[in-house]
Structure 1
Amino acid sequence: MLKRKATAYIKNWMDTKDKKCLVVQGARQTGKTYIIERFAEENFEELLEINFKQMPSAMDIFAGDLTVDNMIMAMRFRFPERKIVPGKTLIFLDEIQECQEAITSLKFWAIDNRYDVVASGSLLGIDYKRASSYPVGYVDYLRMYGMDFEEFLWGMGVSEDMIENLCGYLHSKTVIPEAIHSQMMNYYRQYVATGGMPEVVQKYIDIKDFREVDRVQRNLLQGYQYDIAHYATAEEKVKAEKCYLSLAKQLLDKENHKFQYKEIEHGGRAQKYYSSVEWLLRADMVQLCKRVTDVRFDLDDYARDDFFRAYTTDLSLLMAMKDFSLKQHIVENTLAGNSKGGIYECAIADALYKKGYQIYFYKNDTTKREIDVIIQKDGSVVPIEVKSRNTRANSLKWLMKNNKDISYGYKFADGNIGVSEEGIITLPLYMIAFI
């Protein structure tokens, strides 16, 4: 059983005095159903699970009056073997985007407050808009992502004590012993090649065969393409799929990683494809990194909607868009050219996305200086440069020198820990998981 950080969040939700319903949202195959089922096994006497894709006829439970007593009565008729006892039964409404009335019902479950109700689904950013009454104020949210590097380490058998010891070097800004550092870099390369989708990680842990990993990754990518075909409007289906499948070329085959519509098709324009990018964003299939015109708080005030980079929401999907040999080069550390810089930039963006950061980048057209990633942390702007080798971060050094409001910045590189006079903190690439 893979250990996930989301379990602690769900436990905290359970322990709150006045519970709302819990909505677990996120992209498909990130482990939403699995984590809720395991939590129910450990914390409830009974689980009543309704998967609306698997059991569309169960939508009838929500077809009449949405009072809790009526819904419970309908559930007991439909599932006579279930007792459905308050405090002892977890009611789990899975793939809830398929039943708009079930979404509406969350308000009434929350007001009643006798039963513990968890809902889950993919593409909720799209389908919630069709709900007859969105339950604003009656639900708590948990966004599920693919596994981050720390969760991957847990799966590989690395203990929390060992990780805590590793983080000690981060906090003290002292050099990590080479034996530990080299092993962590090996783990990190395996993680980047595998990605964070739980099914992929489990397959790798079980058999350590990257060809089987590749097969699972490609199946997941096909599932995402199916979702586009199933949920996107007729006007968007083909365009959204073309946008999505262009990401590997946009991010790994070019030196400039700005999203370019001409890479989707010859002569492609924003007028034709921007709505498709928006659809992918709402569907949790991409995250956007917008360009900012100034590096100061609040970054969103300086962000450009028409100039951005687009990343997959998990590295597993990016890997599936490329040839199998890419994984081999990553694990063996033989990457070269644009792919090497591109893949680690994607890995840093992936880690920050899974930590809940909105990411930006900066480019000065006059000086040609560019900062790979910028985040806001504790009310301050934090610039980040990503280096596939431990080379100089000249743009970051320039920014630190010319912007006194920025107290520190990170350089993530294939190297060890160090701190410069300018306030640049150099960290190994894998340390992005712990900042």
Structure 2
Amino acid sequence: MLKRKATDFMKNWINTKDKKCLVVQGARQTGKTYTVERFAEENYEELVEINFKQMPSAMEIFSGDLTVDAMVMGMRFRFPEKKIIPGKTLIFLDEIQECQEAVTSLKFWAIDNKYDVIVSGSLLGIDYKRASSYPVGYVDYLKMYGIDFEEFLWGMGISGDMIENLCGYLRSKMIVPEAIHSQMMNYYRQYIAIGGMPEAVQKYIDTKDFRKIDRIQRSLLQGYQYDIAHYATAEEKVKAEKCYLSLAKQLLDKENHKFQYKEVEHGGRAQKYFSSIEWLLRADMVHLCKLVTDVRFDLDDYARDDFFRAYTTDLSLLMAMKDFSLKQHIVENTLFGNSKGGIYECAIADALYKKGYPLYFYKNETTKRKIDVMIQKDGVVVPIEVKSGNTRANSLKSILKMNADIPYGYKFVDGNIGVSDDGIITLPLYMIAFI
């Protein structure tokens, strides 16, 4: 059973006074349903689960009065074997985007505050907008992502104590012993090739067969394409799919990873395709890294909405857009050229996205300075360079020298830990999971 960090969030939610309904958001197939079901097994005497896609007739429970007593009575008639006792029963409404009245009902569950209610679904950013009365102020949110590298290590049998020992090298900025470092790089390359979608990770743990993982990745990608066809407006369907399927080429086949509409379609322009990017963003199918025109805090003040990089929300989907041989090259460390740098940049962006950071990048055509990724942490700007080898980071060095309010920057490399006098902290690629 894959251990997920989201479970700890749910445990804290249980103990919250006057708790609201919990909305578990996130892209499809990231483990939302599985995690809630395991959580219910461990923390409640019974689970009442309604999947509105699987059980559309259950929408009748929410078709009349939306008083808690009326809804509970409807559930008891529907599930006569369930007692539905406050504090002992978890009510789980899955694929809630299919039943807008159930979305509206969340306000009344929260006001009543007798029953613990968790809801989940895919494309909630698209479908919640159709709710007759959205329960603003009556829900808490948990954003679930695909499995991150630390969760992957748990699945591979690496204990918390071993990870804490690894983090000790990060805190002390001491070189990681080669035996540990080389094994961690092997794990990290495996993780990049597999991605973080739970089904793919579990298949790797069970079989170590990349052919089977490849089939899962491609099936997941087809599912995302189905969602575009099913949920996007008629005007957006084809455009959104074209934008989505262009991501691998945008990120891995070019030196400049800026999203370019001409890569979607010959002569493509923002006027035609920008709304499709917006749709994919709301649907949790992409996340963006925006260009900033300055490196000062607050970066969002200097961000350009029209100049960005677009990433898949999990590496599993990116892998499915490329030939099987890419996974082999990643695992065997035989990548070179733009693909190698592009893959590592995507992996770093993926890790930061799963930590909840808004992402930015910097490029100055006049000075030729550029920073691969920038985040804000503890009230300061943190510039990050990603190197496929361990080459110099001249732009990073220059940025640190010219901006006294930026105390340090990271250089992530296919190498070991190092610290320089100019504020650059060099870290192995896998350490992104622990900063």
TM-score range, shorter chain: over 0.9
Structure 2 counterpart of 1:341: 341
Distance in structure 2 (CA, Å) of the matches to 1:417 and 1:343:
21
Distance in structure 2 (CA, Å) of the matches to 1:360 and 1:182:
30
Report the AA paired with residue 216 of structure 1. I
Structure 2 counterpart of 1:24: 24
Structure 1 counterpart of 2:12: 12
SS of residue paired to 2:135: coil
Structure 1 counterpart of 2:98: 98
SS of residue paired to 2:162: helix
Structure 2 counterpart of 1:212: 212
Distance in structure 2 (CA, Å) of the matches to 1:83 and 1:240:
45
Report the AA paired with residue 261 of structure 1. Y
Structure 1 counterpart of 2:376: 376
Structure 2 counterpart of 1:177: 177
Report the AA paired with residue 307 of structure 2. F
C-alpha deviation, 1:373, in angstroms: 0.1
SS of residue paired to 1:306: strand
Distance in structure 2 (CA, Å) of the matches to 1:247 and 1:118:
33
1:68-107 correspondence to structure 2 within 5 Å: 68-107=68-107
C-alpha deviation, 1:402, in angstroms: 1.4
SS of residue paired to 1:267: coil
Structure 2 counterpart of 1:160: 160
Structure 2 counterpart of 1:254: 254
1:7-406 correspondence to structure 2 within 5 Å: 7-406=7-406
C-alpha RMSD of the superposition = 0.5
Report the AA paired with residue 183 of structure 1. Q
Distance in structure 2 (CA, Å) of the matches to 1:394 and 1:340:
20
Distance in structure 2 (CA, Å) of the matches to 1:312 and 1:33:
21
SS of residue paired to 2:175: coil
SS of residue paired to 2:114: coil
C-alpha deviation, 1:406, in angstroms: 0.7
Distance in structure 2 (CA, Å) of the matches to 1:199 and 1:394:
41
Report the AA paired with residue 212 of structure 2. E
Q: Deviations over 1:201-235 (max 9, x none)?
A: 00000000101010000000000000000000000
Q: Deviations over 1:270-320 (max 9, x none)?
A: 000000000000000000000000000000000001100000000000000
Please list every run of 5 or more consecutive structure 2 residues that lacks an aligned counterpart in the other structure: none
Report the AA paired with residue 194 of structure 1. I
Structure 1 counterpart of 2:2: 2
SS of residue paired to 2:226: helix
SS of residue paired to 1:91: strand
Q: Deviations over 1:245-280 (max 9, x none)?
A: 000000000000000000001000000000000000
SS of residue paired to 1:255: coil
C-alpha deviation, 1:333, in angstroms: 0.2
Please list every run of 5 or more consecutive structure 1 residues that lacks an aligned counterpart in the other structure: none
Distance in structure 2 (CA, Å) of the matches to 1:310 and 1:94:
29
C-alpha deviation, 1:18, in angstroms: 1.5
Report the AA paired with residue 136 of structure 2. V
C-alpha deviation, 1:15, in angstroms: 1.1
C-alpha deviation, 1:156, in angstroms: 0.3
Distance in structure 2 (CA, Å) of the matches to 1:401 and 1:412:
19
Report the AA paired with residue 347 of structure 2. A
Distance in structure 2 (CA, Å) of the matches to 1:305 and 1:212:
39
Distance in structure 2 (CA, Å) of the matches to 1:178 and 1:41:
41
Distance in structure 1 (CA, Å) of the matches to 2:307 and 2:61:
46
SS of residue paired to 2:375: strand
Distance in structure 2 (CA, Å) of the matches to 1:303 and 1:115:
43
SS of residue paired to 1:47: strand
Distance in structure 1 (CA, Å) of the matches to 2:45 and 2:421:
59
Superposition TM-score, scaled by structure 2 size: 0.99
State which drifts further: 71-80 or 222-231: 71-80
Structure 1 counterpart of 2:414: 414
C-alpha deviation, 1:47, in angstroms: 0.5
Q: Deviations over 1:350-407 (max 9, x none)?
A: 0000000000000001012110000000110000000011111111011111112111
C-alpha deviation, 1:125, in angstroms: 0.6
Report the AA paired with residue 358 of structure 1. P
C-alpha deviation, 1:79, in angstroms: 1.3
Report the AA paired with residue 399 of structure 1. I
C-alpha deviation, 1:115, in angstroms: 0.6
Distance in structure 1 (CA, Å) of the matches to 2:398 and 2:124:
42
C-alpha deviation, 1:62, in angstroms: 0.5
